[in-house]
Amino acid sequence: MLPPFDPWHTAMTAFDVASSSKAGPADLARMRAQRLVVLLEAARRAPMFEALIGARDPATIHLQDLPITNKAMLMANFAGWVTDPELKLDEMCRFVADPTRIGEAYLGRYLLWESSGSTGGSGLFVQDARSLAVYDALEAIRRPVPRPFEPWLQPWRWLDERTAFVVATNGHFASTLSVERLRQLNPLLARTLCCVPFLQPLAQLSAQLMGIAPQILATYPSVAVMLAEEQLDGRLELHLREVWTGGETLTDAMRATIAHAFHCDVVNNYGASEFMSLASECAHHQLHLNSDWAILEPVDDKGLPVPPGVMSATTLLTNLANHVQPIIRYDLGDRVTVHADPCTCGSHLPVIEVHGRSGDLIRLPGAQAGEDTRVSGLALSTVLETVEALSDFQLIQHAPDRLELRTELSGPGTGKMLRQARSVLETYLRSQGAADVHIACHSNCPSLRSRNGKVQRVMAMP
Ligand SMILES: [Zn+2]
């Protein structure tokens, strides 16, 4: 069965997103207010929101009067959170446990994304054709150089342009599913888009990429840096037109390394499983919040708003596109600064900075004396997340060849789980060419969380 897609709604949304890209602050505020009323009307079909909103007219409700929500709270009351009673959590969990169903429509009309993330355990997010149309339009149009008309204006270039997404392919994750969905909807894209697993030895990954010879590489900043270093060392030879990054913070130094190695532009974005395309980069390398479809409230650790220019303790998201699983004042756990001054590019979409989604690179001793092996922190946390019931952990590098795996968990079964985690980690590190790495495991550790509730899963040696 084909993934969810509504051609008419997609075309209308693309037109709307294109025409709103240069909208002024008043028009953006009007769009947000109207969409919030429609969202609250729809949310009332979910029992939890019905209890909150009651018989009140949604047009009279102030967003700040609604309670703050988070992933753990909503997952614990999943049946009350969704507006379609046919969405049953246990059946959905069985569906996402099956990797052969990646990209398939659930109940014929939904896409299911799972997320592990660094806050509050795993989550399951439901998208329908309407919310996907919004993400599709934002991805295609809100770019330094919009490309929605390229298939018609330069079909030869578009048809020949290959894009390699180097991502986690071992689950129903938003990044992999978005690519698989496009491939299934459009046979032409199936020839030019591909997902490449980043959980494989670097030499193997480089060889696979050279076989594909993409013009566009899309991946996490830390993985792009690792590949950039391979390119600079001559072990990788790619001729890229652009590198797209997302999922972690891209620092100026990371951008410079990637651009220098591949002699091309780096385009960054900010998204989450809860809203795929939260902010897009302009030609001036500023991240603009897509504030016509998403409301972000930067707040302090008491949940009170912080002024523009000040880094928040966390951020509350209201997704104006998703009416199936309303995301309202949802604590994303990200520290964000929203800037008051408009960007010199002319867009009135607010400029934001996202802090602390750090992607540490770990350097470990290689098999040959004097050689080192680089592994991305994201890869290590993805590997550890495959260990069942290891819901909370932190991996710290204390010395070049010494790692410590810590967990807050305790009680029966924890020792066995940690032994399994160590074995999975050792196997992965060996496959990456790391040798003689000692991994100490500790359970019942004090809280690993920082004040904003996030855990930095992997910490490299300073
Ligand atoms: Zn700008």
pLDDT digits (tens, 9 = 90+) for 416-446: 999 999 999 999 999 888 888 999 999 988 8
Cα of 163 from ligand 1 centre, angstroms: 25
Determine the average pLDDT of the residues in 105-116: 90
Q: How confident is the model at residue 379 (pLDDT cuts 50, 70, 90)?
A: confident
How remote is the CA of residue 280 from the centroid of ligand 1, in Å? 9
Same-domain pairing of 246 and 149: yes
Give the pLDDT confidence score for residue 288 in this predicted structure: 96
Give the Å distance between the CA of 400 and the centre of ligand 1.
41
pLDDT tier for residue 282 given thresholds of 50, 70 and 90:
very high
- The top-scoring range by mean pLDDT among 132-141, 248-257, 289-298, 450-459 is 289-298
In a domain, 406, yes or no: yes
Angle value at C-alpha 24, between 23 and 26, nearest 5 degrees:
120
Residue 109 has φ and ψ, to the nearest 5°, of -145, 0
pLDDT interval class at 218 (50, 70, 90): very high
For residue 307, the CA-to-ligand 1 centroid distance in Å is 20
Distance 62 CA to ligand 1 centre (A): 29
Q: pTM of the entire structure?
A: 0.85
Rounded to the nearest integer, the mean pLDDT of the chain is 88
Tell me whether residue 281 is in a domain.
yes
| Bridge partner list, 194 | 164
Helix ranges, 97-186 (H): 129-141, 150-153, 155-160, 174-185
Domain assignment present for residue 1? The answer is no
Among 355, 374, 409, residue at a domain's last position: 355
For the domain that residue 443 is a member of, what is the CATH number?
3.30.300.30
Task: State whether 299 and 368 are in the same domain.
Answer: no
CA of 257 to the centre of ligand 1 (A): 22
Distance from the CA of 348 to the center of ligand 1, in angstroms? 8
Q: How far, in Å, from the CA of 121 to the mean position of ligand 1?
A: 34
Going from the Cα of 290 to the center of ligand 1, the distance in angstroms, rounded, reads 12
Instruction: Give CA–CA dist 301/250, Å, rounded.
Output: 25
Cα(189) to centroid(ligand 1), Å:
29
Give the pLDDT confidence of 312-336 residue by residue, as tens digits. Answer: 988 999 999 999 999 999 999 888 9
Q: How many domains does the chain have?
A: 2
Contact yes or no for 34/293 (Cβ under 8 A): no
pLDDT at 74 over 50: yes
Query: Which pLDDT does position 154 carry in this prediction?
Result: 55
Q: Does the residue 24 lie in any domain?
A: yes
Whole-number Å distance between alpha carbons of 382 and 457: 10
Tell me if 191 is assigned to some domain.
Answer: yes
Helix (H, G, I), strand (E, B) or coil at 27: helix
Quote the pLDDT of residue 135.
Answer: 94
Residue 48's pLDDT band, with cuts at 50, 70 and 90, is very high
DSSP state of 442: E
- Residues ≥6 apart with Cβ < 8 Å to 442: 404, 405, 406, 407
| pLDDT at residue 451 in the model | 47
Ligand 1 centroid distance, CA of 342 (Å): 8
Separation of CA 349 and ligand 1 centre (Å) = 8
Q: What is the DSSP string of 246-313?
A: -SS---HHHHHHHHHHHTSEEEEEEEETTEEEEEEE-TTS-EEE-TTTEEEEEE-TTSPBPPTTS--S
Pick the residue with more confidence: 452 or 400? 400
Q: Are 354 and 362 in contact (CB under 8 A)?
A: no
pLDDT of the residue at 5: 85
Q: Is the pLDDT of residue 357 over 80?
A: no
User: Strand 111-115 to strand 330-331: parallel, antiparallel, or no bridges (unpaired)?
Assistant: unpaired
CA of 217 to the centre of ligand 1 (A): 23
Which residue did the predictor score with more confidence, 378 or 209? 209
For ligand 1, the distance from its centroid to the CA atom of residue 252, given in whole angstroms, is 16
How far does the centroid of ligand 1 lie from the alpha carbon of residue 283, in Å? 6
pLDDT for the residue numbered 280: 93
Higher-pLDDT residue of 121 and 144 is 144
Asked if 400 and 336 sit in the same domain, the reply is no
Same domain, residue pair 77 and 147: yes
Shared domain check, 385 and 310: no
Report d(CA 90, CA 170) in Å as an integer.
20
The answer to which of 109-113, 365-369, 428-432, 453-457 has the lowest mean pLDDT is 453-457
Q: Taking 60 as the threshold, does the pLDDT of residue 461 lie above it?
A: yes
21 CA distance to ligand 1 middle (Å) = 11
Look at 382 and 119; give whichever has higher pLDDT.
382
DSSP assigned state of 110 = B
- Distance from the CA of 449 to the center of ligand 1, in angstroms? 34
Question: pLDDT class for 374, splitting at 50, 70, 90?
Answer: confident
Q: Is the pLDDT of residue 348 over 90?
A: yes
In the predicted model, is pLDDT for residue 268 greater than 90? Answer: yes
Asked whether residue 319 falls in the same domain as residue 421, the answer is no
**Residue 49 carries which DSSP code?**
H
Identify the sign of the CA torsion 336, 337, 341, 346.
Answer: negative
Which pLDDT band, with edges at 50, 70 and 90, does 452 fall under? very low
The answer on pLDDT for 66 being more than 50 is yes
- State the virtual CA torsion across 329, 355, 219, 257 in degrees, nearest 10: 160
Residues lining ion ligand 1 (Cβ < 5 A) are 282, 284, 286, 343, 345, 347
Confidence (pLDDT) at 145:
63
Q: What confidence score (pLDDT) does residue 50 get?
A: 94
Same domain, 29 and 119: yes
Q: Are residues 46 and 131 in the same domain?
A: yes
DSSP character at residue 68: P
CA angle at 317 for the pair 83 and 74, rounded to the nearest 5°: 45
Residue type, 128: D
Distance (angstroms) between ligand 1 centre and the Cα of 297 equals: 20
**Ligand 1 centroid vs 193 CA: distance in angstroms?**
28
Query: Ligand 1 mean position to 1 CA, how many Å?
Result: 40
How many A from CA of 266 to the centre of ligand 1?
15
Instruction: Say if CB 217 and CB 224 are below 8 A apart.
Output: yes
Whether 2 maps to a domain, the answer reads: no
More confident residue, 362 or 449: 362
CB atoms within 10 A of CB 124: 22
Q: How far is the CA of 296 from the centre of ligand 1 (A)?
A: 18
Most confident of 106-120, 322-336, 376-390: 322-336
Average confidence (pLDDT) over 60-79: 93
Ligand 1 mean position to 174 CA, how many Å? 26
Let me know: does 395 contact 379? Beta carbons within 8 Å.
no
Neighbours of 255 (CB within 10 A): 20
Q: Hey, how many other C-beta atoms are within 10 angstroms of the C-beta on 420?
A: 15
Rounded to the nearest whole angstrom, what is the distance from the C-alpha of residue 167 to the centroid of ligand 1? 27
Host domain of residue 210:
7-355
- C-alpha dihedral, 134 to 136 to 141 to 144, nearest 10°: 120
Nearest to 123 by CA among 166, 198, 86, 73: 73
Percentage of the chain beyond pLDDT 70 is 93
323 and 425 share one domain = no
Domain finish residue from 306, 326, 355: 355
Distance 55 CA to ligand 1 centre (A): 41
Report how far ligand 1's centroid is from the alpha carbon of 18 (Å): 15
CATH number at residue 186: 3.40.50.12780
% of the chain at pLDDT higher than 90? 56
Domain boundary among 355, 386, 417: 355
- pLDDT number for residue 186: 82
Task: Tell me: do 369 and 442 sit in the same domain.
Answer: yes
Q: Are strands 163-167 and 216-219 parallel, antiparallel or unpaired?
A: parallel
Residues 374 and 396 in one domain: yes
Q: Do 194 and 301 reside in the same domain of the chain?
A: yes
| Confidence band, pLDDT 50/70/90 cuts, at residue 121 | low
Distance of CA 438 from the midpoint of ligand 1 (Å): 47
More confident residue, 295 or 7: 295
